[in-house]
Every structure is written in C-alpha cells, then in structure tokens.
Amino acid sequence: MNARPSGRSLRARRPAWLASLAALLALACAPALSAQVVADRWGPNPPASAEGHRVDTLFWLITTMISASFVIVLLLLLIPVLRDRARPGHRASYDHGSSLHDKRFTAIVSVIVFIVLDASVLYITMRDLREVVWNIPRPGGNTYQVEVLAQQWAWNFRVPGPDGRFGTSDDIVTINALTLPVDRPAVFNLASKDVIHSFYVPDMRVKRDANPGAINQVWFQPAVTGNYDILCAELCGYAHYQMHGTLAVLPQAEFEAWQQEAGALALAAWDGNDSEANWAWEWKENTP
Amino acid sequence: MSQIALPLPSEGRRARVDSTLGMALFIGSWSMAFATLFLTFLILRQRQPVWPPQGVVLPSLPLAGLATGVLLASSVLLHGAVARLRAGRPGFASRWAAGLVAGLLFAGLQSWLWIDVWSAGGRPDTDMYQGLFYMLTWFHALHVVCGLLALGVIQAGALSGRIHAGRATPASSVAIFWHFVDAVWLVLFFSFFAL
Amino acid sequence: MSGDHIHAEPTGFLRKHVFSVDHKVIAKQFMWFGLVWLLIGGVMAMMIRWQLANPGTPVPLLGKLLYPRGDGSVPPDGYNTLFTMHGTIMIFLGLTPLLIGCFGNFCIPLMIGARDMIFPLLNMLSFWTVVLGGLVGFYSLFVPLGAAEGGWTAYPTLSGNIGTPGSGETLWAIAVFLIGASSIMGGINYITTIVRLRAPGMTWGRLPLTIWGLFFTAILNVLFLPVIGSAMILMVLDRSFGTSFYVPATLNQTGGGDPILYQHLFWIFGHPEVYILILPAWGIISDLLSFFARKPAFAYRVTVGAMAAVTILSAVVYGHHMFTTGMTAMLGESFMLLTMIISVPGEILFFNWLHTLWRGNLRFTTPMLFSMGVIFVFGLGGLTGIYLATIGTDIYLHDTYFVVGHFHLTMAASSLFGAFAGTYFWFPKLFGRMMSEKLGKLHFWTTIIPLTIVFCTMFISGYAGMPRRYYNHTDLPFLRSIQHLNVITSVAAFFLGGAQLIFAFNFIRSRWWGAKAGVNPWQVGTLEWTTPSPPPHHNFDTIPTVVTGPHEYSHPALKDRDWLPQTENLPVA
C-alpha cells in the first residue's frame, strides 16, 4: 500500500490550486513576452512573401506553448528543491506511483499535453502544408518559372524568354542574381551540378535542397519589393559560406523593363555551341 | 574437473542457451547489414530501365548454380556432424572435415566466378550491375572467409579433443553461422539470377 | 550454475591491465579512452568557436602548430574538418565509450549480481576494436589531402570523390565502421548478459532503471549499427572502387545511383543513434533521482514502458532530418506525425522524474545535481524539438543554428550530464575513493550556466536565419549584424570548456589521492553497493539473492534508516 501525504482533500484545497494555476499562467506569459523582445531585436525581417506569415504565426504559437510548459517544469523542479530538501526529522513520502489513480493521472496529463502542444500545431501546419507548401502552382497564366542550377559555389538562374520554353536562345541566364516580379507566384525547379546544395531565402521563409540527379520544386509569391539574400543551406565544400545570391523583387513596370533589356542581351549573347552555358532541362513537375 | 569427465547436464543446457541467444543476436545484427545491402540492391536495380543492362558481363549461371549446390551440401554435412556430436556418436571430426572441404570448394568456385567476370572486363566501376554484384559477393565473401577460419578452429578442436560431446556448443554456434552464410547466399543467388 | 565458480585472478601486467577480460578493467579502459577523446573533441569545439567569434584570427596556442602553412588561423577546409571530426569524435569516440562502454560494462554485471559479462573475450575484443577505430580516425587527421570534411553526416556527393578527394574521408568511413562493429559486439554481450546472468530473485521488475536503459540501448545498437556499417561499405566502394551507389546517372557513365539513398540509410541509423546516446543517461538519472530523493522511482513500469516505446518508435521517425530533401507529402506528414508521437513517452519520463522528486527528502549531492541538470537541459532541448518536428517551421530552421542548439541540448548536454552523474556516483565503486563534493558542485554550476547561454543563444541565432557549418558569418550584412551573438556564444563556450578542467583535476586527483570510500557511501540499495569498493576480481563472494526492488527508500516501517538493500526483505509494516 502506498503512503499518501496527509492533509486536506483536493476539494478543500481548491482555492489554493486555482490561485496557483492563475499565478503560473501569468508567470508563463513572461517568457513569451520576452521572446517578443528577442524577436524584435534579433528576429528575421518580416516575411516578404505572401504566405510567409504562416511560418511566423506557427513559430509564435509554439513559442508561447513551450515557454509556458518550461515554466511549469521549472516550477515543478524548484518547489521540491526549496520545500523537500533533506533535513533532520524530515522524511520522504513513500509512493511507488503504481496505483491505478496515478496511471490514470499520467494518461490524462499525457493526452492533454499531446492535444495542447502537438495536435494543435499539427492541425495548423497540415493546413499550411496543404494550402501552400504542397500546393505548387501549375505553369502558365500568372506563374513565373525559374530553373535553378546550383554548383560549387554559385547559383545559376534561368528563366524562359518570351517563347515560354526552357533551353531556347531567348532564355535569360544569370549567376547569383535573381530578379522576380512582385505579386506573381514564382515556381522553382532546383537541381545541382555537383554536390547537394540548398536554396534558402530567409525573407521568403522557403528552403529546399538542390540535389544532383533529381529535380525538386519549391514556390513562393514575393509580396514586397526589395533586395533579399539567397543562401546555401547544405554543406557543399569549403566555400559553402560564400555561396550566396541576391534576389531583387521589382514592381511590375520595372520588372518588364528589366525583362526587355535582359532578354535582348541574352539573345545577343547566345552561343549554341556552348554546352556548359546551355544547361536547361525540360520543366519538370513533381506533385509532392 | 578433469577434461574427460562430462559436466552436469544442466550446465551444458545453460551454456547452450547462452550461446544460442548470443548467436541469435549476432545473426540478427548481421541480417540487418545484409538487409540494408539487399535493400540497396533492390532500390538501385529497380531504377534501371533494363535489367540486366545492355552489354554487361553476366556471371556464369552454371558456375553459380554449382557453387550454390556445394555450399548447401557443406551446410548439410556440418549439420549432420553436429547432430552426431550431440548424440554422442563418433565421426564428428571426419564429417566436419567434409563440410569444411565443401566450404573451401565453394570459396574456390566463387573465386572462379569472379575471375570469369573480371577477365571478361567486368569491374566494379563498369556498370551498376557489376557494382552491385561485386558489392554483395565481396561482403558475403568476407563472411565466408571468417566462417572458414571458424570452421578450421573447430576442426582443430575436434582433432585435439577440446570439442567433444559435452562441449558441443562452440561447434553448433559456428555451424549456425555457416547456415546463415548459406542462407544469405541463397538470397543473393536468387536475386541475381531469378529477379 | 554458470558463472558461479570463481576463476583465479590473472597474473602478469598484460593480462591484468591491457588484455584483460575482467569487465571492471575493460570499463575503466573505456572510461579513460572516452575521456581523452572528449578532451580532443572539446578542444576542436573551442577552435570552432574561436574561428566564429574572431574570423581569420590565428588560434592562440594551437594555431601555428596545427596550421603551419598559414598564419595559424583556421582555413576554410580546416574548419569543415573541425566540425566533422568534432561531431564524429564526441559521438563515437567520446560519449559512446564513456556512457555505454564504461557504465555498461561496469554496472551491468555488478547491478544484476553476476561475476562478469557472459562473453568476456568478446568484451575485450569490443574495446580493442574501438581503439583500432580511433587510431584509424586519428591517422586520418594527418593525410595529405586532409581529413574528412563532409560533416559527421557525410552526405554524398560531397563525401564522394566529387566533393572530397583523397583518403581522409575513406579512412573516416572505415573508422566509423570499426567503431560500429565494437558497439555491436558490446550490444550482443549486454543483452545476453542481462537476459541470462541475473542473480536469483533479480526479476525484470526488480532491475535498476540504469540496466533497462542500457538494455534498450544495446538492442538499438545491435539492430541499427549494421545499417550505417553498410552505408559506409557502399561509400568506401564508391570512393575507392569506382562504383556509383550514391552517384546519380547525371554525374557518371555507369548507371544511376542515388545520393538520397545514403541519407535514408544514414538516418535510419542516425535517429536511433541519438536514442542510443540518451537511453543510458535516462536510465541512470531515473535511478539517481530516486536514490537521492530517498523515494521510490515514480511509476517504474511506466518508465520502462516509455523507454521501450521510444526504442520501438525510434526507427520510424528518421525522416524529420530530411524534410527539405524533396520527399513526398505523404511521407513528410507521416514522419511529422510519428515524431510528435514519440515525444509523448519522453514527456511521460519527465512526469515521472518530477513526481519522483515531489515530496522526497532531497540530498543535493553532485550526482543529484547533474541528474536534475538533465531534467533542465533535456526539457529545454526537447521542447524546442517541436519547432523541428513541424514541417512548416522546420523548413525555415533546418540547417540553421537552431538545430545545433537543439541537438546539443538534447543529445550532447543531456548524455554528458548523465555521464557526469554516473561518474561522480560510481567513482567510489570504480576506484575505491570519493571525488571531491565541493569541486563537483563547482563543476556543475560552472558548466550548466555557460552551457545554457551557449545553446540558448544559438536558438536566437538560428531564428535570425544564421546557417550552420559556415566558416565565417561576416560575409553577409544581415549575418554581420548579429555577429555579436557569435561572440557571446563563444565566450560562454570558453568558460564551459574551462569548467571541464575542474572535472579533470577532480577526477585525476581523486583517482589516486581521494578520500577512501566505504562499501556504500551513498546509502543505496542496488547490488553493487554490497561489495567492497572497488570490488574484488570475482565481484561477489557469494552470488546474492534478490528479494526487493532497487528503489525501496523511506518505507514507513523502516525506523533507523531510509534505505533497503535489494537482498533484504521489506519489513512487515
């Protein structure tokens, strides 16, 4: 038989429990608030893509919940430290925790924790995945297609010219500089020439690996004009840290002007015999 | 306790369970290794549009078939030897030797198989087929070599009297390992010649 | 019965101290081996932090020695080698020998009431195989084209001939293979010993939780090390024999391999590996929290069940390391769901630990402090895992410092704290002397405070978008603006490194000059505390008969003391 700590019943101690719970929740908000301070000072720039805010919302939901959880854990750690330290005349309560009551309590708490911490997050992220991440726009219409060939240690970008096909003489090919129109979904085919790289645009909240021998798809819709960083997020050799590009998001009129100029230059510079420069592939769709 | 007197039956049985558990874990572990390599084989094979690929040097089916038969025979011989030993009947050393010789014959036939492919221009870097073939057979061969060494150690033990009816567990453990090597070969053979 | 007759002690220096089959000697060999490699790996970490805080500056003391061709600063490829070898060394040559090799070997026979491991020769082989692996790894540091540089994860095609020519990476793969073989041998030994050599009365329900943790670790070792062994075989064949298992058809003439295949094989091993490293620590602290709270371990069977659940699920969550590789939606979502599910048994363990402390009679010894430290660091690290299990946030955080902070807290800090707790706790039984409590407490506080700063700062850096495995963060303006986070992390890391010298000093001094320990200095009931400190060669004069569980503390009917050895019956209330 397990000895139980004596004292008043749970019901009689209800006001104390409620007060403690209220204090706990108030205290638990503290890390979430300080996390806001952290985010303001050190956080990434506000998302510059149409759906990037979903990542931030999810981030904040998780931060709030785990901050509260951690405060609770710390308190449950601190109370015994202060109250139950060994001293003369003090004895531990003998409790194996193997009673049915204890097992039920554990089960209930586990289910609550799973529902609060995990199920909520799962629901929201599944919705985001289905609505945005897996939901890659088809070619045609407003969609802007880009083929990205990563190499040690640069980013090659190719957009189809007016003919809409990849691998023809009017393709615009740039290295480390990507220009996109604002408010149009941009879909990327990612591949690599040599080792695995990863196409990472923090401000747009996207990342996807560029693998040799396979093509990955990723998309986002730039929503704010400006210049953004493109980083490599998969170790690719000793210059991995130097492999970055710039993304320029232009308003409609400026983008069209850029397209005209770049297109003319591309046509003029095209050399049919330069196999290395003509690295295009037929657009590949992989529905994830 | 003198070497010739039999230990108590309970001790023998206990030691047998200990060794069997150890062997089961060892074989379970090594099965995971072979399973990983076979999984690799299946995945990469399934990616190839044509199998076997055009113009590849194929290992000789009759030779491989003969080797398989010899390996099976060696397992049967070893199994029989161990059964005789546990039953206390004589003839362990000679039957074990027969199994060992069959094992050596298998190793010889396996080498012939390699030489056959190698001299026809089949190298690990020639083709995915060749790469997978050498990978699987070399890894298997490593276990054949270790197995043959273990068979040799038991043979020496049989001849010197250290392996006897009351101390049969080392022999049966080694035999179990050899059966495992045999089983892996069967899967290998089937995968390359039947799939 | 087997193991009951007492063998004579070996004579001669080599048989006694070098090629010994005595589990206690082998345990100490693993301990020294692991501690030396932890030091080497730790120095590498300090060098990494130096470079990140002071890019391009010569490394003090070691720079000129290690990088004679330059000005003594870490070069970019040298930096890649540093984090590759730091990870490999800490996991395979530091933590594994210390936590699993040492404590597994030392504690299992003694705690279950046996005279030795069931396969003593295999045990000795296991140690010398890891030594061989370490030698190969050490040798690889000095080859002409440099040591491995592909990260401890070594993804092809970077780790193939395309990305990393030379023998360094090949030798690395061979070293990992050998170390894996050593752990498999150990795992076979541990499982068979625990199953077969438990003393009479030592039922599965009376095993200390330390043994349960080691048991599950051994099962994972036996099952999943062969997978990475095979992955390494394929890598060596690719590198040295021209095969193309990991080289796609676009990059070679001979047929379509797949670099992503490696990632699957690696992480099928790699995720169980992190549980391999944490399960012994979980087991140890589950016991120590009970011992030093003078209270039974709360819900013993539930704890065992939670560890078993984690063990079973460990292989099916591995895809959460690969969310950005372009896997299908169904696969990604399945891995995400399973990863969330595997957190539940972990939470239950937490619940049980906290409940063990609740209304205990807490003795704040150094082992207790480190055990409570595990609750703290694993709580922090484990909770941040939710960001990484969720695909939406993982896409942003993958390959940033957020991940580095997460796995160091859960894998490195928690396992290391478990190892420290075990070291302080079993030191008297290993060496017959006590470690200094004062220095132990100092070690604890000077470790946990900087450690929290180091890895929590990484959460901030990662959230800001700072990628990992970058030689230099001052190239890009946005990274330059948070460079001070690197400086804070590095300064705290230097304090953290320095604090370990307290442990080293304490360990060495106590080993030869510490206060002599009695049979049972901690007043704990498990079987190893019934034999002298250190135990004689044969462990127990007579094999004990067990009649109670390992956590009988503060039973109300015990009047004069608050603990009960496992060989004594509970008093009639």
Query: CB contact, 8 Å: C487 with chain A?
Result: no
Mean pLDDT of C482-487: 96
Mean pLDDT of A92-106: 92
- The answer for residues whose C-beta is within 8 angstroms of residue C142's C-beta and 6 or more apart is none
Q: What is the pLDDT of residue B7?
A: 41
For chains A and C, what is the number of CB pairs under 8 angstroms?
Answer: 293
Q: Does C19 or A163 have the greater pLDDT score?
A: C19
- What sign has the CA pseudo-torsion A36, A39, A45, A48? negative
Strand partners, A178: A247
List CB contacts (< 8 A) between C257 and chain B: 44, 128
Query: CB contact, 8 Å: C383 with chain A?
Result: yes
Give the best residue of A6, A59, A73 to mutate against chain C (max C CB count within 10 A): A73
Show the 3-state SS of chain B: CCCCCCCCHHHHHHHHHHHHHHHHHHHHHHHHHHHHHHHHHHHHHHHCCCCCCCCCCCCCHHHHHHHHHHHHHHHHHHHHHHHHHHHCCCCHHHHHHHHHHHHHHHHHHHHHHHHHHHHCCCCCCCCHHHHHHHHHHHHHHHHHHHHHHHHHHHHHHHHHCCCCHHHCHHHHHHHHHHHHHHHHHHHHHHHHHCC
Nearest to A94 among C163, C341, C555 (CB): C555
**C-beta contacts of C300-303 below 8 A and 24+ residues apart:** C300/A96, C300/A97, C300/A98, C300/C205, C300/C209, C300/C549, C300/C551, C301/A98, C301/C205, C302/A97, C302/A103, C302/A106, C302/C348, C302/C352, C303/C209, C303/C212, C303/C348, C303/C349, C303/C352
CATH 2.60.40.420 fits A144-269, yes or no: yes
What is the C-alpha to C-alpha distance for residues C200 and C529, in angstroms, rounded to an integer? 17
Are the Cβ atoms of C184 and B28 closer than 8 angstroms?
Answer: no
For chain C, the chains sharing at least 3 beta-carbon pairs closer than 8 angstroms are A, B
Nearest to C2 among B18, B43, B53 (CB): B18
Are the Cβ atoms of C329 and A59 closer than 8 angstroms?
Answer: no
Strand partners, A197: A210
C471: domain CATH number is 1.20.210.10
| C255 has a pLDDT exceeding 90 | no
Q: What is the number of other CB atoms lying within 10 angstroms of the CB of residue C76?
A: 18
Task: Give the pLDDT band of residue A1 (cuts 50, 70, 90).
Answer: very low
Helices of type H across C358-413: 366-389, 391-397, 401-407
Interface of A with C in 209-228 (CB under 8 A): 209, 211-214, 216-217
Are the Cβ atoms of B40 and C224 closer than 8 angstroms?
Answer: no
Q: Closest-CA residue in chain C for B130?
A: C243
Nearest to A92 among C249, C294, C399 (CB): C294
Give the best residue of B13, B14, B42, B128 to mutate against chain C (max C CB count within 10 A): B128
Task: Give the pLDDT band of residue A24 (cuts 50, 70, 90).
Answer: low
Please indicate, yes or no, if residue C469 is contained in any of the structural domains: yes
Expressed as residue numbers, the domain containing B97 is 11-50+59-193
Q: Is A90 helix (H, G, I), strand (E, B) or coil?
A: coil
**Omega within 30 of 0 (cis) for the link into C157:** yes
List CB contacts (< 8 A) between C255 and chain B: 44, 48, 53, 127-129, 131
- Which phi and psi (to 5°) does residue C281 adopt? -65, -45
Give the best residue of C217, C237, C266 to mutate against chain B (max B CB count within 10 A): C237
Which chain C residues touch B if contact means CB-CB below 8 Å?
Answer: 1-2, 118-119, 122, 184, 187-189, 191-192, 195-196, 222-227, 229-231, 233-234, 237, 241-245, 254-258, 261, 265
**Domain assignments of chain A as residue spans, ordered by start:** 14-83+99-133, 144-269
Mean pLDDT of C413-432: 97
Q: What is the number of other CB atoms lying within 10 angstroms of the CB of residue A140?
A: 8
B16: domain CATH number is 1.20.120.80
Q: Looking at CA atoms only, how far is residue C262 from chain B in angstroms?
A: 9
| C82 has a pLDDT exceeding 80 | yes
Question: Which of A117-121, B88-92, B144-148, C344-348 shows the lowest mean pLDDT across its residues?
Answer: B88-92
Q: Which of A165, A159, A183, A189 is nearest to A259 (CA)?
A: A159
Task: Give the pLDDT band of residue A26 (cuts 50, 70, 90).
Answer: low
- The answer for residues whose C-beta is within 8 angstroms of residue A260's C-beta and 6 or more apart is none
Whether the CB-CB separation of A229 and A246 falls below 8 Å is answered with: yes
Q: Does A271 or A104 have the greater pLDDT score?
A: A104
Strand partners, A220: A186
- The answer for residues whose C-beta is within 8 angstroms of residue A257's C-beta and 6 or more apart is none
List CB contacts (< 8 A) between A288 and chain C: 326-329, 332
Q: Is A9 helix (H, G, I), strand (E, B) or coil?
A: coil
What is the C-alpha to C-alpha distance for residues C505 and C514, in angstroms, rounded to an integer? 11
Q: What is the ipTM of this complex?
A: 0.93
Q: Does A2 or A115 have the greater pLDDT score?
A: A115
Are the Cβ atoms of C224 and B32 closer than 8 angstroms?
Answer: yes
**CB burial of residue A149 (10 Å; 0-12, 13-18, 19+):** buried
**CB burial of residue C75 (10 Å; 0-12, 13-18, 19+):** middle
Task: Give the pLDDT band of residue B73 (cuts 50, 70, 90).
Answer: very high
Whether the CB-CB separation of C346 and C383 falls below 8 Å is answered with: no
Are the Cβ atoms of A92 and C350 closer than 8 angstroms?
Answer: no
Please indicate, yes or no, if residue B4 is contained in any of the structural domains: no
Are the Cβ atoms of C360 and A92 closer than 8 angstroms?
Answer: yes
Please indicate, yes or no, if residue B97 is contained in any of the structural domains: yes
Mean pLDDT of B33-59: 89
- What sign has the CA pseudo-torsion C279, C285, C288, C294? negative
Whether the CB-CB separation of C113 and C527 falls below 8 Å is answered with: yes
The encoded tokens of residue C85 equal 């070898």
Q: Is C32 helix (H, G, I), strand (E, B) or coil?
A: helix
Q: What is the pLDDT of residue C70?
A: 86
Q: What is the pLDDT of residue A30?
A: 67
What is the C-alpha to C-alpha distance for residues A163 and A146, in angstroms, rounded to an integer? 14
| B56 has a pLDDT exceeding 60 | yes
- In tens, the pLDDT along C205-235 reads 999 999 999 999 999 999 999 999 999 999 9
Q: Looking at CA atoms only, how far is residue A141 from chain C in angstroms?
A: 25
Helices of type H across C436-561: 437-464, 477-480, 483-513
- The answer for residues whose C-beta is within 8 angstroms of residue C478's C-beta and 6 or more apart is A45, A202, A229, C464, C465
Please indicate, yes or no, if residue B1 is contained in any of the structural domains: no
A/B touch flag: 3 or more CB pairs below 8 Å? no
The encoded tokens of residue C564 equal 């009960």
| B10 has a pLDDT exceeding 70 | no
What total of structural domains would you count in chain C? 1
Give the best residue of B25, B34, B169 to mutate against chain C (max C CB count within 10 A): B25
Please indicate, yes or no, if residue B30 is contained in any of the structural domains: yes
Please indicate, yes or no, if residue B100 is contained in any of the structural domains: yes
Nearest to C556 among A3, A110, A212 (CB): A3
Q: Is C201 helix (H, G, I), strand (E, B) or coil?
A: coil
| C509 has a pLDDT exceeding 80 | yes
Are the Cβ atoms of C362 and A85 closer than 8 angstroms?
Answer: yes
Sheet holding A216-220, edge to edge: A172-175, A154-159, A144-151, A186-192, A216-220
- In tens, the pLDDT along A32-66 reads 677 778 888 888 999 999 999 999 999 999 998 99
- The answer for residues whose C-beta is within 8 angstroms of residue A33's C-beta and 6 or more apart is none
Pairing of strands A186-192, A244-250: unpaired
Q: Which of A244, A246, A249 is nearest to A222 (CA)?
A: A249
Q: Looking at CA atoms only, how far is residue C231 from chain B in angstroms?
A: 8
Please indicate, yes or no, if residue B83 is contained in any of the structural domains: yes
The percentage of chain C sitting over the pLDDT mark of 70, rounded to a whole number, equals: 98
Q: Is C433 helix (H, G, I), strand (E, B) or coil?
A: strand
Please indicate, yes or no, if residue C286 is contained in any of the structural domains: yes
Whether the CB-CB separation of C247 and C259 falls below 8 Å is answered with: yes
Q: What's the whole-number average pLDDT of chain C?
A: 94
Task: Give the pLDDT band of residue A13 (cuts 50, 70, 90).
Answer: low
| B12 has a pLDDT exceeding 50 | yes
Residue located via tokens 């906290």: C354
- In tens, the pLDDT along A103-146 reads 999 999 999 999 988 999 999 999 999 999 999 999 888 999 99
Please indicate, yes or no, if residue B5 is contained in any of the structural domains: no
What is the C-alpha to C-alpha distance for residues A240 and A234, in angstroms, rounded to an integer? 8
What is the C-alpha to C-alpha distance for residues B99 and B79, in angstroms, rounded to an integer? 9
Strand partners, B4: none
Are the Cβ atoms of C187 and B25 closer than 8 angstroms?
Answer: yes
List CB contacts (< 8 A) between C372 and chain A: 77, 81
User: In angstroms, what CA-CA distances link C265 with C83, C235, C533?
Assistant: 22, 11, 44
Nearest to C234 among B29, B123, B135 (CB): B135
Strand partners, A161: none
Whether the CB-CB separation of C225 and B46 falls below 8 Å is answered with: no
Q: What is the pLDDT of residue B161?
A: 82
| B100 has a pLDDT exceeding 50 | yes
If you compute the radius of gyration of chain B from its CA atoms, what whole number of angstroms results?
Answer: 19
Please indicate, yes or no, if residue C183 is contained in any of the structural domains: yes
Whether the CB-CB separation of C209 and C352 falls below 8 Å is answered with: no
DSSP letters, C276-325, are HHHHHHHHHHHHHHHHHHTSPPTTHHHHHHHHHHHHHHGGGSGGGG-GGG
What is the C-alpha to C-alpha distance for residues A163 and C61, in angstroms, rounded to an integer? 62
What is the C-alpha to C-alpha distance for residues B130 and B144, in angstroms, rounded to an integer? 20
- In tens, the pLDDT along C90-127 reads 999 999 999 999 999 999 999 999 999 999 999 999 99
Q: Looking at CA atoms only, how far is residue C379 from chain A in angstroms?
A: 7
Please indicate, yes or no, if residue C565 is contained in any of the structural domains: no
Query: CB contact, 8 Å: C291 with chain A?
Result: no
Q: What is the pLDDT of residue B174?
A: 93
- Which phi and psi (to 5°) does residue B125 adopt? -95, 5
- In tens, the pLDDT along C450-459 reads 999 999 999 9
Please indicate, yes or no, if residue C441 is contained in any of the structural domains: yes
Q: Does C466 or A18 have the greater pLDDT score?
A: C466
List CB contacts (< 8 A) between C258 and chain B: 43-44, 47
Whether the CB-CB separation of C489 and C457 falls below 8 Å is answered with: yes
What total of structural domains would you count in chain B? 1
List CB contacts (< 8 A) between A79 and chain C: 358
Which chain B residues touch C if contact means CB-CB below 8 Å?
Answer: 10-11, 14-15, 17-18, 21-22, 25-26, 28-30, 32-33, 36-37, 40, 43-44, 47-48, 53, 123-129, 131, 134-135, 139
What is the C-alpha to C-alpha distance for residues C107 and C116, in angstroms, rounded to an integer? 10
The encoded tokens of residue C415 equal 């396992």
Are the Cβ atoms of C226 and B129 closer than 8 angstroms?
Answer: no
Element (H, E) at A252: helix A252-269
Whether the CB-CB separation of C287 and C316 falls below 8 Å is answered with: no
**Helix, strand, coil percentages, rounded to 5, for chain C:** 65, 0, 30
Give the best residue of B20, B37, B56 to mutate against chain C (max C CB count within 10 A): B37
Q: What's the whole-number average pLDDT of chain A?
A: 88
Please indicate, yes or no, if residue B166 is contained in any of the structural domains: yes
Nearest to A62 among C326, C390, C461 (CB): C390
Give the best residue of C234, C239, C258, C266 to mutate against chain B (max B CB count within 10 A): C234
List CB contacts (< 8 A) between C114 and chain B: none
Please indicate, yes or no, if residue C333 is contained in any of the structural domains: yes
Please indicate, yes or no, if residue C17 is contained in any of the structural domains: no
Q: What is the pLDDT of residue C50?
A: 96
Q: What is the pLDDT of residue A10?
A: 54
Are the Cβ atoms of C261 and B47 closer than 8 angstroms?
Answer: no
The encoded tokens of residue C455 equal 């890895």
What is the C-alpha to C-alpha distance for residues B107 and B144, in angstroms, rounded to an integer? 7
